[in-house]
Chains A and B, each alone.
Chain A
Amino acid sequence: MYRQDEVKEASFFDTGEGLVFSYGPQHPGTGHFRLIVRVIGDTVLSAEPDPGFVHRGEEKLCEYKTWITNIPHLERPAILDAAGMLYPYCLAVEKLMGVEPPLRARYIRPIVAELNRIGSHFYYFALYGVFLGLTTPFMWAFGDREFVVDLVQFIGGQRITHSYFVPGGVRNDVPKRVPSGLVKQFRAWYRDATGRSPSSDELTDDFQKYVLRVMEFLDARLDHYWDLMLNNALFMDRTVNVGKLTAEEAAKLGVVGVTLRATGIKRDVRIDEPYDAYGEFKFDVPVRTEGDSYARAVVAFEEMRQSIRIITQAVEGLPDGPVKNKQHPVNIRVPAGEAIARAEAAHGESVYYVRSDGTDRPYRVRMLTASFRNLIVIPYLSRGAKLAEIPAIYWSQNVWPVEWDR
């Protein structure tokens, strides 16, 4: 698809003496993958992605495991966003079974999904800094991410790979109380970030109150991130006008997530095709029009604020009732048929195609993960860029190599 006339200014420098080298596969910041980069001087002539180092054969594995035992391995491609990986699978299987989860589960699932989104975006900022040689955000983001993964642990039992979603609801109810020792510690953190002390009534070991205070705490913390990273001249020097993508190019390449919304296209599955209780929440879809690496970071930053809004509304309006349909815990039967479902994962729109032949295991599960759809952008934007711009171009897409491989 890369016609010669699209090769920006790179072809001008191409005298056939380019130097080819391997960028990776030893972990250029995250999971294993490599770019085969050809440069002349400091200008990139081509950058061909070579994923597959962490290929696990998830889709093949799905055909050997039952509908329920598929859940723990399906979340492995993006462990920091396990909810985003499981959500479309559960929605597709529910479509095939013709069931709807109970109302309470339809509120709990967005809470966990948004917690995972915040956690994943903290990860994004942590490594975005590391990629550009700014290591302080790594320490900050991993420190603040602890509060999020702690909450996921209280809800789902595990910090990251919680396997919490099942077709027809969630595995268990949210707890009523959180450990009081943690609340005691958190009080000091809350005071540091927001500048005020919560009264003994505002912050107790009650789950709902604790979550709401954590959300206020994170909201206050995000102001510091703005000053540290996004309003930082050094960060802007490395990202503004780097890897610019227009809206037409974005539509042509079919990109998703922050890469798409940074070009001005306002698309978010939570708004376009609301699933579970997302239709009930008030939130915005952040959009920028610049389309460069900086705009992508800003979109991700704004998304965290919106996730905080969603969690606050969901926790306040959490209805009572069961959290799971009555069904066999491990051996469900799914009627024959095929279904397609999608959800907005932290990395972008995630689409699953699921086909059943009426037995206890899937006939085919196709995972069209968000990162895989953004893979095409990296060689596209790297052409004609400077070698030192590759880290910003690569990581600003908010991609995850294991999601490419699956």
Chain B
Amino acid sequence: MSESKIGYIVNELKQALGESIKEVKIDKKMTKITVEKDALVRAASVLKGLGFDHVKGVTGIDLIALKPPEDSFEVMYHAGSYSVQELANIIVTIATRIPRNNPEVPSLTSIWPSCEYHERETYEMFGIIFSGHPNLKRLLLPEWWSDAPPLRKDYRPPGR
């Protein structure tokens, strides 16, 4: 049942975004739709229109240590739904890749207020700037932290 539902969601996204969708991955492990950075806001509003009313979290990944290395960050939004019962067992992830030397993505807080603190955490841990975020400042790191953002792969913790 959920497979056909996911197919419907992906179709809607394809219709709305067209060429901006770079990769669609649907399997038992996760449902992930990679879009261009410019299409992120549109993808989010399409999902919101379909009933995905909150995000379960925002994930950042530094892809520099992959083999072969990729000089970019990946930002993912895991969206879920409370208002539509049929979507209860579905988590749709929309992802985008951004260059490491210009890590900036539009903030989705205007569409999903629930990602406010998740974006703040990704900002301080990866140095990714979410433009348009209402309160983009440090959350967990100490205020005297002056080293590189710690979850980047090129940050080596002392003693390791």
Contact = CB atoms under 8 A, between A and B. Distances in A.
Interface of A: 1-2, 51-52, 55, 57, 59-60, 64, 95-96, 247, 250-254, 260, 265, 267, 272-273, 337-340, 342, 349, 351, 353, 355, 357, 363-364, 366, 368, 372-373, 375-376, 404-405
A64 to B, nearest CB: 6
Contacts of B66: 357, 363
Contact of A357 (B67, B88, B125): B67
B91 A376 contact: no
B30 A338 contact: yes
Contact of A366 (B59, B82, B116, B138): B59
24 contacts: A1-B116, A2-B134, A51-B139, A51-B140, A57-B150, A60-B151, A251-B83, A252-B114, A253-B114, A339-B29, A340-B29, A340-B91, A342-B91, A351-B56, A351-B57, A351-B91, A353-B30, A355-B61, A363-B66, A366-B57, A368-B57, A368-B59, A372-B117, A373-B57
A185 to B, nearest CB: 44
Given A340-B91, A364-B61, A95 B29 contact: yes
B128 to A, nearest CB: 14
In order of increasing CB-CB distance, the 8 nearest A-B pairs are A254-B114, A254-B54, A368-B57, A339-B29, A52-B140, A272-B88, A251-B82, A273-B89
A177 to B, nearest CB: 40
Contacts of A265: 82
B82 A260 contact: yes
B78 interface: yes
A376 B67 contact: no
Interface of B: 28-30, 32, 53-57, 59, 61, 65-67, 76, 78, 80, 82-83, 88-89, 91, 93, 109, 112-118, 121, 125, 134, 138-142, 150-151, 157, 160
Contact of A253 (B113, B139, B151): B113
B57 A252 contact: no
Highest count of chain B CB atoms <10 Å: which of A51, A251, A349, A375: A251
A251 B78 CA distance: 14
A349 B56 contact: yes
